[in-house]
Amino acid sequence: MPDTQPANQNSPRAVIERLFVALQARDLETISQCFSPDYHGSDTGTLAPLERREDVLKMFGLYLLAFPDFQFELLEVITEGHRLVAVWTAQGTHQGPLLNIPAMHKPSKLEGTWIATVQAGVLTEGALRWDMAKLLRDLGLLPLLPSS
């Protein structure tokens, strides 16, 4: 991913890169440090809004329980001021419950984006979007799309 702006440790680019390294390492302490205590956001896989840091940690905990072998890749980061858009992938095998779906033991590769705001070196708000239909197809719960 090309780096077009100087990165300091509090820049939006540095914060999202630090978060993805921490996700890959399952480093919950560093993941926690990437979010403000009063973070507000949303995620495709949750019904309720994320109202604080603890909600985000719970969300990631559920994903890592369901996909303990998740491999994360940050594909692109676009920043403007305090805002960022991150394009990412995560792939792994569904080995635990997620969204009321028991472990299916099938691989999945998810793609998504995160639109977020960074203030004082932490994420303060964001919208995490990923392709739930693709996950359900990978798990055999939705029919495959016809090939063209």
- Residue 14 in tokens: 């540095």
User: Angle at CA 114, nearest 5°, toward 71 and 6?
Assistant: 90
Task: List, for residues 105-131, the tens digit of each pLDDT value.
Answer: 999 999 999 999 999 999 999 999 999
Give the global pTM.
0.90
Residues 126 and 114: beta-carbon distance below 8 Å: yes
d(CA 90, CA 74): 9
Residue 146's pLDDT band (cuts 50, 70, 90): confident
Task: List, for residues 46-74, the tens digit of each pLDDT value.
Answer: 989 999 999 999 999 999 999 999 999 99
**What is the mean pLDDT of the segment spanning 67-94?**
97
Q: Which CATH number fits domain 12-136: 3.40.190.10, 3.90.550.10, 3.10.450.50, 3.30.70.270?
A: 3.10.450.50
Residues 114 and 129: beta-carbon distance below 8 Å: yes
d(CA 148, CA 146): 6
Q: What residues does each domain of the chain span?
A: 12-136
Residue 7's pLDDT band (cuts 50, 70, 90): low
